[in-house]
Amino acid sequence: MVVIIKEYISFFSDSIQKLMSLIVCKTIVSMIEYRYRIIRKGCDVLVYSHEVEHMCTLKQGCNHGPAPIPEEGKWIKSSQVGDISGLSNSVGWCAPQQGACKLTLNVKEGIIEEALVETLGCTGMTHSAAMAAEILPGKTVLEALNTDLVCDAINVAMREVFLQFAYGRTQTAFSEGGLPVGASLEDLGKGLRSQIGTMFGTKAKGVRYLEMTEGYVVDLAIDDGGEIIGYKFLRIGPMLEAIKKGADPKEAYDKNIGTYGRYDEAVKYIDPRHE
């Protein structure tokens, strides 16, 4: 009899334990379902907290849409990527700030139709620019913003130029119809070379002009007081174009030499790279 009673007690104990476990599990599931209710709209899943579920619904009285921004001579209420058009540029820099990138984009209805990538100060960045110029055209500005453009400076430039487009700060904001694809090349000038200024100076020896917007600085004109009063420069782009077309290199060189300032009044001339 004692053995039978012990067996019954053991059986009921196991049953009660299983029942309690089941009740606890159901209670937890109920609490979770109570706290979070999933509302399905198509493929989207929205989750509302318990606090929001028990709030009353109020109407949205003030909703006038986005503020209009100027785009290619029109005022546009931009709410989608396809609403963005214009030409703009911006500058980015890498984390150690040893190099920089100027990025120019021509966007039509959200699609990048033209990209000009100019870099400065880093040798590897030029190869990154080559890849970025191939990657960007054909993407939407939002895709481009979320694309790895190889170099951190180019990525930062993309972020900054995106802001120009988003807030209507493009160069063509008030230009009716915008600019044609290829307009960014006008920034490069003859020979399609980037406009770069390179100068160097020390406390001990003074300044040296190495490259100006006109071209490669051949020599500096110095007056009797030891100051720079002008310089001679070489237009590298036009010279190379002439040579490619069959011109004699010496003749092409001579035709693309120019001077600036009071060059002819100098008492001496120095090579800024060696003197």
Residue 230's DSSP bridge partners are 221, 261
CA angle 231, 234, 238 (to 5 degrees): 150
Share of the chain above pLDDT 70, in %: 84
pLDDT for res 270 = 93
- Give the pair of three-digit tokens for residue 33: 């379902």
pLDDT band at residue 187 under the 50/70/90 scheme: confident
pLDDT band at residue 124 under the 50/70/90 scheme: confident
pLDDT for res 96 = 86
Spatial distance between the Cα atoms of 229 and 193, rounded to a whole number of angstroms:
26
Q: Which CATH architecture has domain 69-187?
A: Alpha-Beta Complex (3.90)
Kindly list the domain boundaries of the chain, sorted by start residue. Answer: 2-51, 69-187, 198-270
pLDDT for res 30 = 60
Of 18-32, 82-96, 230-244, which range is least confident? Answer: 18-32
Spatial distance between the Cα atoms of 79 and 67, rounded to a whole number of angstroms:
10
Rounded to two decimals, the pTM is 0.75
Region 148-173 average pLDDT:
91
Report CA-CA distances (Å) from 26 to 15, 21, 209. Answer: 17, 9, 81
Tens digits of per-residue pLDDT, 9-58?
565 566 666 666 666 566 665 655 555 544 444 445 788 888 998 999 98
Tens digits of per-residue pLDDT, 244-275?
999 999 999 999 999 999 999 999 999 999 98
CA angle 66, 70, 74 (to 5 degrees): 105
Q: What is the mean pLDDT of the chain?
A: 85
